[in-house]
């Protein structure tokens, strides 16, 4: 049995987010990129998270912070609430210090050439 992808697509990881993580394919839509980034958090693929952040925004992030955030939480599941052109609203469910938390974000993606990048996000509390 192949492991189903952490992003919740019901596909196995190798048929879902892995080709994006290995840069064998580019995510064709903001939602696909969003899913692959969630899976990257769940699998602690920090380089992928940096590479899929828009170059103009990378300065706002650093790998150590991303890695710590990814590792200190247990990523439970992803729920895509809405996708509208370059905007994806989602909820990421995770466990932090045995407490269920929900990260609810409206993310904006930008296309550069043929490649989508994470551009910015605003959070709901």
Q: Please give the residue ranges that form the binding site for Zn ion (CB under 5 A).
A: 5, 7, 9, 16-17, 35, 39
Q: How many helices (H) and strands (E) does the chain have?
A: 4, 4
> How many Å apart are CA 99 and CA 102, to the nearest integer?
10
Q: Please say which residue, 7 or 46, places its beta carbon nearer to Zn ion.
A: 7
Q: Smallest distance from the beta carbon of 110 to Zn ion, in angstroms?
A: 21
Q: Smallest distance from the beta carbon of 5 to Zn ion, in angstroms?
A: 3
φ, ψ for residue 89, nearest 5 deg: -105, 130
Q: Please say which residue, 2 or 47, places its beta carbon nearer to Zn ion.
A: 2
Q: Please say which residue, 8 or 121, places its beta carbon nearer to Zn ion.
A: 8
> How many Å apart are CA 80 and CA 100, to the nearest integer?
18
User: Which residues contact residue 124 at a Cβ distance below 8 angstroms, ignoring those fewer than 6 apart?
Assistant: 104, 105, 106
**Cβ-contact 35, 29 below 8 angstroms:** no
Q: Smallest distance from the beta carbon of 65 to Zn ion, in angstroms?
A: 24
Q: Please say which residue, 35 or 103, places its beta carbon nearer to Zn ion.
A: 35
Q: Smallest distance from the beta carbon of 28 to Zn ion, in angstroms?
A: 13
Q: Which letter does DSSP use for residue 45 in this model?
A: -
């Amino acid at each position: 049995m192949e492991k189903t992808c952490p992003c919740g697509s019901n596909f196995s990881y190798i048929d879902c987010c892995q080709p994006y993580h290995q840069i064998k394919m580019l995510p064709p839509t903001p939602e696909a990129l969003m899913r692959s980034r969630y899976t990257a958090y769940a699998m602690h693929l920090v380089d992928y998270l940096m590479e899929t952040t828009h170059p103009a925004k990378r300065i706002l992030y650093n790998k150590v912070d991303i890695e710590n955030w990814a590792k200190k939480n247990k990523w439970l599941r992803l729920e895509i609430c809405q996708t509208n052109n370059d905007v994806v609203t989602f909820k990421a469910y995770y466990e932090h210090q045995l407490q269920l938390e929900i990260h609810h974000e409206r993310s904006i993606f930008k296309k550069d050439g043929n490649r989508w990048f994470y551009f910015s996000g605003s959070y709901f509390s």
